[in-house]
């Protein structure tokens, strides 16, 4: 909610991942995480947040870049698209499947993470901000 207000987002789409290929499997199953997300947005007062289960329906693995390529096709080449990620994710973006393509598809909206300092120790990390 804070990020949405900070940058005046018109819509926030929650996209639960089936099985994250770049990190250990979460304790909650994909269907449990989908249900939790559904419950979380049901309690919010407006329609800012929506839920999209496309990554759960996709054959494995489900890559973030594929999702943003789909969204780019759906919304068009000039629509502003943002990807809200944690600072820890930004620092590992070069290791993601086609991670360095993401800034060509969307704006990276980076949330600070406790314990990471500014985390941007070299100019290569700060180029995304």
For residue 22, the enclosing domain spans 2-126
Q: Mean pLDDT by 10-residue block, N- to C-terminus, for the chain (129 residues)?
A: 84 84 74 91 85 87 91 95 91 91 94 70 52
At 70, which CATH number?
3.40.50.620
b/e per residue, 106-120, with b = 16+ CB within 10 A? Answer: beebbeeeeeeeebb
Cis before 121 (ω within 30): no
- How many domains, the chain? 1
> Which pLDDT value is given to residue 106?
96
DSSP H stretches of helix in 7-86: 30-42, 54-57, 64-75
């Amino acid at each position: 909610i804070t990020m949405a207000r900070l940058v005046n987002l018109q819509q926030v789409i929650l996209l639960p991942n089936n099985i994250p290929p770049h990190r250990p499997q979460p304790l909650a199953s994909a269907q449990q995480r989908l249900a939790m997300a559904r419950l979380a947005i049901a309690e919010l007062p407006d329609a800012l947040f929506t839920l999209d289960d496309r990554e759960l329906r996709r054959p494995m693995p489900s890559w973030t870049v594929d999702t943003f390529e789909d969204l780019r096709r759906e919304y068009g080449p000039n629509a502003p698209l943002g990807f809200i990620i944690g600072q820890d994710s930004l620092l590992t973006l070069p290791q993601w499947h086609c991670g360095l393509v993401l800034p060509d598809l969307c704006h990276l909206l980076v949330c600070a993470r406790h314990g990471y300092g500014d985390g941007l120790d070299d100019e290569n990390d700060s180029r995304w901000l």
